[in-house]
Structures are given as structure tokens and as C-alpha cells.
Amino acid sequence: MKFRTRHKEFLLYGASMAGVLFLLKLLEANFIVYNYRLDFFIGAIAIVFTVLGIWLALKLVKPKVETRIIEKEVYVDHPGTREINREEIEKLGMSKRELDVLNLMADGLSNEEIAGKLYISMNTVKTHSSNIFLKLDVKRRTQAVEKAKRLNIIN
């Protein structure tokens, strides 16, 4: 029973091919016995293989839709309603410049844009970013911004 359910498409394809072969032999027998015209025989074979080709193409091209539901906790902040947690900033040992870089990261600026806005070099921005990642114990900018918002370090 498991074999049938597991290999249903192969069995169906095999059965359809056997049916097509049977139909071809039947048409060949009719051609020989009743002496039909060659055009009818060729046309019948063309129709059978056209239908088979369309059916097979629809089976192969049909996308297998797989739905996945992903749940993620989202922290919603309301601008102006929460205070910046100074104690947490001191506990983490964040400098003023690192907070500036973190705020600009939260605004979606690239390292180059942050460097231009703060009038510092790219290497300095990268150093501040690395320090932020270490202090917040994260690996990416998005994680750093999310954690900083959760800890009320930035708005």
C-alpha cells in the first residue's frame, strides 16, 4: 500500500504509456485489417502524442506550492513616549560616538553615509560598529538596532 501511494505518479505514467501502446497497436491492427488510409493512422498517432505531451508538460511545469508560516516577535515603539535608558547605556559602556553611529544605523544609513555625516573615516565607523556589536552581543546591524530599541537605548 505504501509503495502505491509513494510512487503514484510513476505508476500513473506507466499505465498511461501502456494505454498509449495498446491504442497504437489497435490502430495498427485497424490499419492492416481494414486498410485505412495512411493519413488517418499518422493523424491519430499525432493526436495521441500531442495530448500526451500536453498532459506531461502540465504535470512537470505545475509548481508545487508550499506555504510556510513564520512567526517573529516584533517590538513596536511609539516615538516620543519612551525615555532613553541611561542606566543601560552606562551598564553596556557605550560611548556618545557609538550611540551616534547606532542611531544612524537605525535610520538605515550605510557605513559611508555615517562617516560623511559624522565627519569621521570609514575605518572609525567600522571600529564603532564592531564595538557596538560586541557590547550588544549581536552579529548584524539589524540585530543591533532591534536590541537597542528593546533596551530603550535609541528611539
- Residue 132 pLDDT: 93
Residue 129, C-beta contacts closer than 8 angstroms, at least 6 positions apart? 101, 105, 111, 141
CA atoms within 13 A on the CB side of 127: 7
- Could you say which residues of the chain have pLDDT below 70? 1, 3, 29-37, 63, 74-82
Rounded-to-integer distance, Cα 79 and Cα 86, Å: 17
